[in-house]
Amino acid sequence: MATPRWRILTARPSWICIQCRANSSVASRISPPPQALRTGKNKNALLNVPARTRFAPSPTGYLHLGSLRTALFNYLVAKKTGGQFLLRLEDTDQKRTIPGAEERLYEDLRWAGLNWDEGPNVGGRYGPYRQSERTALYRKHADSLISSGHAYRCFCSAERLDTLARHRNQQGLPLGYDRKCASIRPEEAEDRAAGGEAHVVRLKTDGYPMFHDLVYGKTGQNRSGGKKQLEFIDRVYEDPILLKSDGYPTYHLANVVDDHEMKITHVIRGHKRNADIDISLFKDRGIMPSALLNFAALLGWSHTSKSDVLTLKEMEEMFNLKITKGNTVVAFEKMWFLQKAHAQRCASERGPEIQELEDKSSVVAEEILAAEHQSTERPVRDIVTLLLQADAKSYTSPEEFINRNKTFFIAPSDRPAYEPTTKNASSATVSLSALHTAAAALTLTPESHWDIETHRLNIKSYNFAGSLNASDSPSDTDTAAANPIAQDKAFKKELYHYLRWALSAGAPGPGIPETLTILGRAESVRRLQGARELTTPVVQNTCRVPKTPIKLTRATVNVSGMEKNADNSWMGSLAPK
C-alpha cells in the first residue's frame, strides 16, 4: 500500500499576513530559530518545546486508516513535547454530513487510545471546537479582510459562473473568476448584503508566497495571480471563496482562522490518500488497537528502535520528525505480524487489551459449541484464557484463533489414522506399545499438580530405555539404537508426534505440556484412551516385527517430584494387553 506524502507546517512560516503579525508573539516564542526553519537541518528542535497540534476531521465520512495515522502523528508530537492534542470538528459542509459520523469518530479515536486534551465533549480555553458553532468568528475575520481590501463580496449567480466556466473550457482557456464583482463599490456591496441578496465572500489573491515545510523544505505554488495576465483580455483570477452563500466558511478560511485562534504550533497532514479503509473494518476483524496504531505509525515514520513492535507509550517517548518524504510501501502482512506480537505481549502482561481478546474469543467459541450442539465440562472462558496464554503468538482474529484451536472445545471425531514419523523400514522405530506406556505414565500426575511445568518435567525425565527398536541396518543400529542421545531424540520426537495426534488429531497448536494443561486431566485421559484403542489393531497387524522379541521394561516417571516405578498395574485399562 502506498502511503501519503507528509507535510509538517510550522507556526512561523517565512511570510505572515498583516492581520496575523500582531498576534504572532506566541508562535514566535515557541518556534526554533529562523535559520533552522529555512534549512530544515534542525527539525527535531521543534520537539524541545511544548507543541499544540490538532486533528480536524469532517463528519462527512468515517475514520479511515490514513486519517488515523494523521491523528496519531499529531498526537505523538504533542505527547513527545508535553504539549496538547486538540480535536476540532470541521462540520461546515452541512449537505454532506453523515448522521452518526461524529459519534463514530469519537468512538473510534477512543478505541484507538488517542484521547484529546481539548475538543468536543472535553472543552478547553479556545472552544467551541465545532466549526458550525464558530461562524460568528469567521464572519468577523471575513469582514476584516473586506475592510482591508483583501476580500470582496461576490453576487454572481450560479448560472453566470457556470456559463463563464463552460465558455472558457470551450475556448481552451484556464478556469477562474473574472472579478466582475470586485469593482462594486464597498458601500453598494454592503447595502446589497444587508438587504439579504445572496452572495459569497472571495479572497483577493495576487500571488501565493513560498513557505517552509519541514519535510519538503521551501515549497509552495509560487504563482502571481493576475499580475502576469494583465496583457490578456480574458484574464481570470483564482480568488477562492471564504464564506459561502449560506454563511458557513469554506476550508480556506475556517482552517486558518481556527489554527490561528487556537494557537496551533504544528500541522502534520497527508499530501494524498491511497487505499483508504474504514477503521470499522479493522475493528470487525478483531485487530487490536495497539497493533493498528503500530502499523499506521510505520507508514511514513522512521523510528530508532531495533524492533518494529511498539506500544503507544513507547512511540510517545521516541517519536521524532523523521517522516518519509516520498511514498512508502508496507504490505498488510506486516499488520498481521504486529497483531500476533501485540497479542503475545498482552497475554504475558495481562493488560486490559487481553480481556477484550478473551471476551471476543469466548463469544466465538460459544457460538461454535452451540452450532454443533456440544458443551464443555470446564467454563469456556477458562479454556480461552489458557489458550491465549499458551498460543497468543498465533492470534490474528477471534474467529481464526478459535477455529485453529477448535479441538480444545470439541473432541475430534474423525481423526486420521496414526502414521509414525519414521516410515523407512531401514530406520530405528518406536513401538506403539512404548508410546502407549509413556502416554499413560503422563496421566499419573494428580489434578493438584496438573500444570505445564510438571508435564514438561515428566516428559523430559521419562525413561525410554528399550522403547527404540533397532533397524535391520547395522549402520543405523550404531548411530541410533546404540547411541543414548540419538535414542532420546528419536523417542521424544515420536512421542510428541503421537501425543499431538492423540490429543488434538494432529492439529497445530500449543506445545504438548500446554495442551495437556488446557484440556485438563479428565479430558486428556479420555483422549489418550481413545487413541490407544484406535492404534491397538495397528500394533497387532501392521507393526513391523523386529528380529528379536520386544520386552517392555519398567518405565520410570517423575510425578510431582517423586520417583515412581511403574509395573503396569497402575495403568488400568491403559496398560498394554
DSSP codes, 400-451: HHHHHTGGGTS--SSPPPP--S---TTS-EE-HHHHHHHHHHHTTS-GGG-S
State the residue for C-alpha cell 511544548: 50
Say if residue 443 is in the same domain as residue 558.
yes
Say if residue 402 is in the same domain as residue 376.
yes
Q: Does a structural domain hold residue 484?
A: yes
Mean pLDDT over 70-86 rounds to 96
Say if residue 474 is in the same domain as residue 561.
yes
Say if residue 85 is in the same domain as residue 119.
yes
Say if residue 118 is in the same domain as residue 140.
no
Domain containing residue 17 = 6-131+254-273
Mean pLDDT over 388-397 rounds to 95
Collect all residues with Cβ–Cβ distance below 8 Å to 407 and sequence separation of at least 6: 503, 504, 505, 507, 509
pLDDT tens for each residue of 524-539? 999 999 999 999 865 4
Mean pLDDT over 554-563 rounds to 39
pLDDT-based confidence at residue 274 (cuts at 50, 70, 90)? low
Q: Does a structural domain hold residue 418?
A: no
> What CATH number corresponds to the domain at position 230?
3.90.800.10
Q: Does a structural domain hold residue 530?
A: yes
pLDDT tens for each residue of 458-507? 999 887 765 666 554 444 444 555 577 888 888 899 999 999 999 999 99
Contact 175, 236 (CB under 8 A): yes
Stated pTM of the model: 0.79
Say if residue 437 is in the same domain as residue 547.
yes
CA distances 573 to 7, 103, 526, 533, Å, are: 73, 63, 11, 10
Query: Which phi and psi (to 5°) does residue 435 adopt?
Result: -65, -40
Q: Does a structural domain hold residue 69?
A: yes
CB atoms within 10 A of CB 185: 8
- Weakest-pLDDT range from 81-95, 162-176, 406-420, 481-495: 481-495
pLDDT tens for each residue of 79-135? 999 999 999 999 988 889 999 999 999 999 999 999 999 999 999 999 999 999 999
Q: Does a structural domain hold residue 314?
A: no
Question: How confident is the model at residue 570, as a pLDDT?
Answer: 37
Check whether 166 has a pLDDT greater than 90: yes
Among the listed residues 315, 325, 324, 322, the one whose alpha carbon sits nearest the alpha carbon of residue 78: 315
Strands 84-87 and 52-55: parallel
Say if residue 382 is in the same domain as residue 513.
no
pLDDT-based confidence at residue 20 (cuts at 50, 70, 90)? very low
Check whether 30 has a pLDDT greater than 70: no
Check whether 559 has a pLDDT greater than 70: no
Q: Does a structural domain hold residue 291?
A: no
- Weakest-pLDDT range from 19-28, 86-95, 216-225: 19-28
Classify the C-alpha dihedral 299-302-303-308 as positive or negative. positive
Question: How confident is the model at residue 551, as a pLDDT?
Answer: 35
Say if residue 388 is in the same domain as residue 502.
no
Domain count of the chain? 4
Check whether 161 has a pLDDT greater than 50: yes
DSSP codes, 138-197: HHHHHHHHHHTTSEEEE---HHHHHHHHHHHHHTTPPP-B--GGGGS-HHHHHHHHHTT-
Mean pLDDT over 280-285 rounds to 91
> Distance from first CA to last CA of the chain, Å, rounded?
62
Q: Does a structural domain hold residue 536?
A: yes
> What size, in residues, is the chain?
577
Mean pLDDT over 447-454 rounds to 95
Q: Does a structural domain hold residue 309?
A: no
pLDDT-based confidence at residue 383 (cuts at 50, 70, 90)? very high
pLDDT-based confidence at residue 235 (cuts at 50, 70, 90)? confident
Say if residue 237 is in the same domain as residue 384.
no
pLDDT tens for each residue of 471-485? 544 444 445 555 778
Say if residue 369 is in the same domain as residue 498.
no
> What CATH number corresponds to the domain at position 264?
3.40.50.620
Say if residue 436 is in the same domain as residue 564.
yes
Say if residue 51 is in the same domain as residue 188.
no
Question: How confident is the model at residue 18, as a pLDDT?
Answer: 35
pLDDT-based confidence at residue 11 (cuts at 50, 70, 90)? very low
Query: Which phi and psi (to 5°) does residue 55 adopt?
Result: -120, 120
